[in-house]
């Protein structure tokens, strides 16, 4: 006997043959007859008769499907911690949806403490969201929203491990950053900041602050992404010749802006001005170091509105001392604010701004709205378009896959519940689909993994971390598609686990894998195969699965035990290999049977094995 762990949804088993007589409502009423009829109906086919249980509305069920993807549903008003100044329009959106806690300048300890009770955290660049924050939150934190682009202040690995979605606002401050880059470029070429300070100091030093022209010079952009491209557009308007280095940029996009893509070395040796616009990653950290400055064109000027860490400050100070670099304009620093003894901040050949790239009224309103919407969507369980640590599923794909999300999770769970003591590492997921060539399986795969892992780990499993958790537990996911007729996205799905043993041996297929298959009918998930038996039962509620001899009386005996324990049967499905051979029966139960009832079922003659699956 096997008592299967709980399914998370409160659902009830039911069948599809709605026109069939409703005799199973009361197991004392003709159950044996109906069961016998079903058994003899077809070889390896089951007949199903059902009572329609009350169920959640379709819209609620679909909402639950999507919420399950991110496990980000929040029952009451969510708590949204805003740890840095956020534009008013974004705050208004957040306040309409949840309880907003605006707490600025938190110490790391205070942030951890607040994370324990916050569903969402909204930050800019000053808040360090470390592993400790996710550890303290322990799953409570569903989403971190970065009101801006750079997420280098968020430990993405830890966020993913804890199933916390990270979203950003990648577009609203692009122009502001580009404009700041251009402003610094102009200021740097004409000594604006130094001349301003000198003049305000009572001096009139026209000879000292002679600048250099931009027009006709070459600007090298490092990082030809959103900001880099906008800087290029503006720089060309100033008469600069623009080249760019970006290993991942498209030639077409560059050509459209009349920008030549070049190697790192060529950019260094060719340009008079440098503007940095790449993200801070392990690959770009300190990329402007001693070696780069040894190759740079003498007298170059550097603007950095990207991230402080991409420049090695000591190496730049040396290059300035050696007059290899003529000047620098820095908006960003490896540590912000920079310490008093920073090697660059106090120099007369360096101008600095306190990370102002995104600080225009327009950009701040834009990022605030962009991030508020993304965070609210995530809290509602919808997939955010600006997810940083989760696959992006386009809305149209999501709409098509929604009905299969519950099925995928249910199959993963059902298969896992049927595994014996030997465990498993190989997970085979097969999609029968008319769209075998372009089916995006990431969402369904994540939900199968969620179904599998939920019963064996305390970690939150969702679309964000499913693949990672599967890998960390040594699971090997093998996906395949089987072409089918039709126009839908999917006909059916099967999940098989590579294990030699099952607690319910009828669940083993011909390859000795625990195997279940299912489909979606009228937006409800159904099991259509267990092992080598075809069945037809809704993947919901409490189900009693029995393997028994195919002979009269057994089904009646089991239902009589249930009836004497006042357990209503809502649905049944019977399948057999051949007349007189093994058969399996699935009974939907309104209640979970008591221990004594289970003992009595165990005692029914002819029952070889049975198990109970329940959602409550």
Ligand X SMILES: O=C(O)[C@H](O)COP(=O)(O)O
Ligand Y SMILES: NC(=O)c1ccc[n+]([C@@H]2O[C@H](COP(=O)([O-])OP(=O)(O)OC[C@H]3O[C@@H](n4cnc5c(N)ncnc54)[C@H](O)[C@@H]3O)[C@@H](O)[C@H]2O)c1
By a kind-dependent CB cut-off of 5 to 8 A, residue 124 interacts, out of ligand Y, ligand X, none, with ligand X
Dist. CA 420–CA 508, nearest whole Å: 10
Q: How far apart are the first and last CA of the chain?
A: 19
Q: Does the active-site annotation cover 37? A: no
Q: How far apart are CA 311 and CA 253, in angstroms?
A: 27
Smallest gap from Cβ 449 to ligand Y, in A, equals: 29
Cα–Cα distance between 183 and 176 in angstroms, integer?
A: 10
* Interaction of residue 124 with ligand X, rule CB under 6 A: yes
Does 492 participate in binding ligand X (rule CB under 6 A)?
Answer: no
Q: Give the residue with the Cβ less far from ligand Y, 224 or 274.
A: 224
In angstroms, the CA 417 to CA 422 distance is 13
* Cα gap 448→582, rounded to integer Å: 29
Clarify whether 307 is annotated catalytic.
yes
Q: For residues 355 and 165, what is the distance between their CA atoms, to the nearest angstrom?
A: 26
Is there binding between residue 195 and ligand Y (CB under 6 A)? no
The one among 178, 244, 358, 398 contacting ligand X by CB under 6 A: 358
Q: Which of 23, 277, 307, 445 is catalytic?
A: 307
CB of 341 to ligand X, least distance (A): 24
Closest to 175 measured CA to CA, from 215, 217, 228, 134: 228
Given a contact cutoff of 8 angstroms between Cβ atoms, the answer to whether 288 and 276 are in contact is yes
- Binding status of residue 327 toward ligand Y by CB under 6 A: no
Q: Write the DSSP symbol of residue 510.
A: T
Candidates 230-238, 351-359, 399-407, 584-592: pick the segment binding ligand X (CB under 6 A).
Answer: 351-359
DSSP 179: H
Establish if 306 lies at the interface with ligand Y (CB under 6 A). Answer: yes
HSE-CB at 4 with a 13 A cutoff on CA atoms is 30
Q: Which of 336, 476, 602, 605 is catalytic?
A: 336
Stretch that binds ligand X, among 145-153, 183-191, 243-251, 535-543 (CB under 6 A): 145-153
State whether the Cα torsion 585-591-595-599 is positive or negative. Answer: negative
Is there a catalytic annotation at residue 49? no
User: Does 283 sit near ligand Y (CB under 6 A)?
Assistant: yes
Select 313 or 382, whichever has its Cβ closest to ligand Y: 313
Residue with CB nearest ligand X? Answer: 148
> Which residue of 51, 173, 275, 614 would you call a contact of ligand Y, by CB under 6 A?
173
Residue 584 in contact with ligand Y, rule: CB under 6 A: no
Residue 49 interacts, among ligand X, ligand Y, none and using kind-specific CB cut-offs from 5 to 8 Å, with: none
Output DSSP code: residue 135: H
**Per rule CB under 6 A, is residue 150 in the interface with ligand Y?**
yes
The burial class, CB within 10 Å (0-12 / 13-18 / 19+), for 269 is: middle
β-strand partners of 304: 276, 330
Nearer Cβ to ligand X (148/163): 148
Quick one: what does residue 222 bind among ligand Y, ligand X, none, with the CB cut-off 5 to 8 Å set by partner type? ligand Y
In sequence order, which ranges of 531-594 are alpha helices (DSSP H)? 554-564
One of 224, 273, 404, 526 touching ligand Y (CB under 6 A):
224
Q: Is 114 in the site for ligand Y (CB under 6 A)?
A: no
For residues 240 and 218, what is the distance between their CA atoms, to the nearest angstrom?
Answer: 6
224 binds, among ligand Y, ligand X, none (CB under 5 to 8 A by kind): ligand Y
Interatomic CA distance for residues 218 and 216, integer angstroms = 7
278 binds ligand Y (CB under 6 A): yes
Q: How far is the CB of 310 from ligand Y (least distance, A)?
A: 8
Nearest to 584 by CA among 516, 518, 508, 530: 530
CA distance 26 to 386: 52
- Please tell me whether residue 239 binds ligand Y under the rule CB under 6 A: no
Q: For binding to ligand X (CB under 6 A), which residues are involved?
A: 124-125, 147-150, 173, 355, 357-359
Q: For binding to ligand Y (CB under 6 A), which residues are involved?
A: 149-150, 170, 173-174, 177, 222-228, 245-249, 277-280, 283-284, 305-307, 331-332, 355, 357-358
Q: Which of the residues are catalytic?
A: 307, 336, 355
């Amino acid at each position: 006997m096997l008592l299967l762990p709980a399914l998370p949804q409160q659902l009830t088993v039911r069948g599809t043959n709605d026109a069939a007589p409703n005799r199973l409502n009361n197991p004392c009423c003709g159950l044996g007859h109906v069961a016998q009829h079903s058994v003899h109906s077809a070889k390896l086919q089951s007949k199903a008769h059902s009572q329609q249980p009350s169920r959640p509305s379709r819209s609620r069920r679909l909402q639950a499907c999507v919420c399950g993807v991110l496990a980000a549903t929040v029952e009451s008003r969510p708590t949204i911690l805003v740890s840095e100044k956020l534009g008013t329009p974004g705050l208004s959106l957040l306040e309409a949806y949840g309880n907003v806690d605006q707490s600025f300048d938190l110490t790391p300890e205070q942030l951890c403490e607040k994370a324990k009770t916050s569903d969402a955290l909204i930050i800019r660049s000053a808040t360090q969201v470390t592993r400790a924050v996710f550890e303290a939150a322990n799953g409570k934190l569903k989403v971190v929203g970065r009101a801006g682009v750079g997420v280098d202040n968020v430990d993405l690995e830890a966020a993913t491990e804890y199933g916390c979605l990270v979203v950003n606002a990648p577009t609203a401050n692009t122009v502001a950053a580009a404009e700041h880059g251009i402003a610094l470029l102009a200021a740097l070429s004409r000594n604006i900041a130094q001349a301003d300070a000198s003049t305000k100091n009572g001096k009139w030093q026209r000879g000292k602050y002679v600048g250099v022209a931009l027009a006709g010079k070459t600007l090298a952009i490092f990082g030809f992404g959103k900001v880099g491209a906008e800087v290029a557009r503006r720089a060309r308007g100033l008469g600069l010749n623009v080249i760019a280095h970006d290993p991942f940029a498209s030639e077409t996009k560059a050509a459209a802006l009349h920008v030549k893509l070049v190697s790192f070395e060529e950019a260094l040796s060719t340009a008079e001005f440098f503007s940095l616009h790449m993200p801070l990653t392990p690959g770009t950290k300190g990329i402007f170091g001693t070696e780069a400055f040894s190759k740079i064109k003498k007298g170059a000027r550097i603007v950095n509105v990207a991230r402080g860490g991409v420049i090695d400050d000591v190496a730049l100070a040396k290059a300035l001392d050696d007059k290899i670099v003529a000047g620098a304009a820095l908006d960003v620093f490896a540590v912000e604010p920079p310490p008093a003894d920073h090697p660059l901040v106090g120099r007369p050949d360096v101008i600095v701004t306190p990370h102002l790239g995104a600080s225009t009224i327009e950009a701040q309103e834009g990022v605030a709205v962009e991030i508020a919407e993304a965070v609210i969507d995530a809290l509602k369980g919808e997939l955010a378009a600006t997810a940083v640590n989760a696959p992006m599923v386009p809305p149209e794909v999501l709409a098509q896959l929604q009905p299969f999300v519950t099925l995928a999770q249910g199959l993963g769970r059902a298969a896992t519940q049927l595994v014996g003591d030997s465990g498993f590492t190989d997970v085979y997921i097969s999609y029968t689909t008319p769209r075998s060539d372009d089916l995006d399986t990431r969402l369904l795969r994540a939900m199968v993994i969620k179904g599998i892992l939920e019963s064996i780990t305390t970690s939150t499993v969702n679309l964000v971390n499913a693949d990672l958790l599967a890998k960390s537990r040594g699971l090997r996911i093998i996906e395949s598609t089987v072409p089918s007729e039709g126009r839908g996205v999917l006909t059916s799905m099967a999940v098989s686990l590579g294990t030699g043993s099952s607690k319910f041996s009828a669940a083993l297929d011909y390859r000795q894998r625990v195997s279940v298959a299912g489909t979606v009918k009228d937006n409800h998930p159904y099991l259509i195969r267990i092992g080598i038996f075809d069945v037809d039962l809704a993947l919901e509620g409490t189900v009693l699965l029995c393997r028994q001899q195919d002979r009269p009386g057994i089904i009646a005996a089991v239902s009589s035990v249930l009836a004497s324990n006042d357990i209503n049967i809502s649905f049944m499905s019977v399948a057999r290999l051949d007349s007189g051979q093994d058969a399996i029966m699935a009974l939907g139960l309104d209640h979970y049977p008591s221990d004594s009832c289970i003992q009595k079922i165990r005692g029914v003659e002819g029952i070889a094995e049975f198990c109970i699956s329940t959602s409550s």
